[in-house]
């Protein structure tokens, strides 16, 4: 039975050791966003410990990047396995040289929870990168349908795309919603609509934005109002898709907006948006 850690504050936050460590770190790395410097060796379960000995209940799991707790015993045990050691020390270009275990890793791992009808997977290292790849896939599919199956690229297409010009680099759009956050890559940042600090001074694509429904609570007391609010949002989505300056080839939506203010859309509304 592991020892139970309780929250405790033994020094100011950030404490003197944390301030000194952050200052030292700033000589080689931008530390302006640092709240405190953590001691991950002493952190356990849902509790994070800083270098001054303060213990905090972490209800966010970092930014959901440590979902099963600090120093999870099962993960520590798995990290000692030959399979984990091989995965850590051998970083392949997996698209060209997948391991003999790759099929089973995907089939018995992420694909155990795949949505119905989506039985293949493309791995990525972050949510932003996954969104970028999804945007590209939607755009390539759109152009393939326009061009026709089995039709080769023209010389004009292959030469113009190198110059970032049409027809090789066509005007296509992805629709997102107000207050959404989808990442900080160039494409995903163009669909992010939450905070100016993410987007300021960065060029963006000319892509449309729809209003996310603002539901009233408790839900059972505002059924008709919320249905009308979601219909207004969906009508706006349809109008933007059919009237935007160039083709809207994809729509990206968070069923629950987190960074944008904990905004929820009903399951039926979300399903209509993505069909």
192 within 8 A of 227, measured Cβ to Cβ: no
Tokens standing for residue 186: 């160039």
Give pLDDT, residue 269. Answer: 56
Query: Which residues of the chain does CATH 3.90.1150.10 include?
Result: 1-92
Cβ-based neighbours of 154, under 8 Å, separated by 6 or more = 167
Give the per-residue pLDDT at 34: 95
CATH pick for 1-92 out of 3.40.50.920, 3.90.1150.10, 3.30.360.10, 3.40.30.10: 3.90.1150.10
| Structure token digits, residue 179 | 């207050």
What integer is the mean pLDDT of 236-251?
Answer: 97
pLDDT at 146: 95
Compute the distance between CA of residue 244 and CA of residue 207 in angstroms, rounded to an integer: 9
pLDDT tens digit sequence for 54-79: 999 999 898 888 999 999 999 999 99
Chain centroid to CA 76: 26
Residues of CATH 3.40.640.10 domain(s) within the chain?
127-274
Q: For 127-274, which CATH class?
A: alpha beta
For residue 2, pLDDT over 70 is answered with no
Q: Tell whether the model's pLDDT for residue 171 goes beyond 60.
A: yes
Structure confidence by residue, pLDDT tens digits, 11-50: 899 999 999 999 999 999 999 999 999 999 999 999 999 9
pLDDT digits (tens, 9 = 90+) for 263-275: 888 876 555 555 4
Q: What percent of the chain has pLDDT over 90?
A: 79
pLDDT of residue 9 exceeding 90, the answer is no
Contact predicate 207/190, CB 8 Å: yes
The pLDDT assigned to 257 comes to 87
Q: How far is CA 195 from CA 65, 117, 157, 166, 199, in A?
A: 21, 35, 36, 32, 7
Query: Over the stretch 136-169, which tens digit does the pLDDT of each residue have?
Result: 999 999 999 999 999 999 999 999 999 999 999 9
Q: Is the pLDDT of residue 172 over 70?
A: yes
- Under the banding of pLDDT at 50, 70 and 90, the label for residue 261 is confident
Both tokens of 135, joined, read: 């945007």
Average pLDDT estimate for 177-193:
94
Instruction: Tell me if 101 sits within 8 A of 82, measured CB to CB.
Output: no
Please, is 186 exposed, middle or buried when counting C-beta atoms within 10 Å of its C-beta (0-12, 13-18, 19+)?
A: middle
pLDDT at 56: 95
């Amino acid at each position: 039975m592991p020892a139970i850690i309780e929250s405790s504050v033994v020094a100011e936050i950030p404490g003197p050791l944390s301030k000194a460590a952050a200052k030292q770190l700033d000589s080689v790395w931008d530390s302006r966003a640092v709240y405190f410097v953590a001691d991950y060796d002493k952190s356990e379960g849902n509790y994070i410990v800083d270098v001054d000995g303060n213990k905090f209940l972490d209800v966010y799991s970092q930014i959901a990047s440590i979902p099963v707790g600090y120093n999870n015993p099962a993960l520590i045990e798995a990290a000692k396995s030959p399979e984990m050691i091989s995965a850590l020390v051998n970083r392949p270009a997996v698209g060209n040289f997948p391991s003999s275990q790759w099929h089973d890793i995907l089939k018995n791992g992420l694909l155990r929870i795949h949505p119905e009808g989506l039985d293949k997977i493309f791995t990525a290292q972050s949510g932003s990168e996954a969104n970028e790849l999804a945007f590209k896939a939607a755009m390539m599919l759109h152009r393939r349908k326009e061009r026709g199956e089995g039709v080769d690229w023209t010389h004009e297409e292959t030469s113009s795309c190198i110059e970032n010009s049409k027809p090789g680099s066509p005007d296509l759009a992805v629709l997102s919603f107000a207050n959404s956050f989808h990442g900080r890559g160039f494409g995903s940042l163009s669909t992010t609509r939450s905070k100016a600090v993410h987007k300021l001074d960065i060029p963006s694509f000319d892509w449309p934005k729809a209003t996310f429904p603002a539901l009233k609570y408790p839900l059972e007391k505002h059924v008709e109002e919320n249905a009308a609010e979601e219909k207004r949002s969906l009508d706006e989505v349809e109008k933007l898709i059919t009237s935007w300056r160039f083709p809207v080839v994809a729509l990206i939506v968070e069923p629950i907006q987190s960074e944008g203010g904990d905004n929820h859309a009903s399951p039926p509304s979300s399903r209509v948006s993505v069909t």
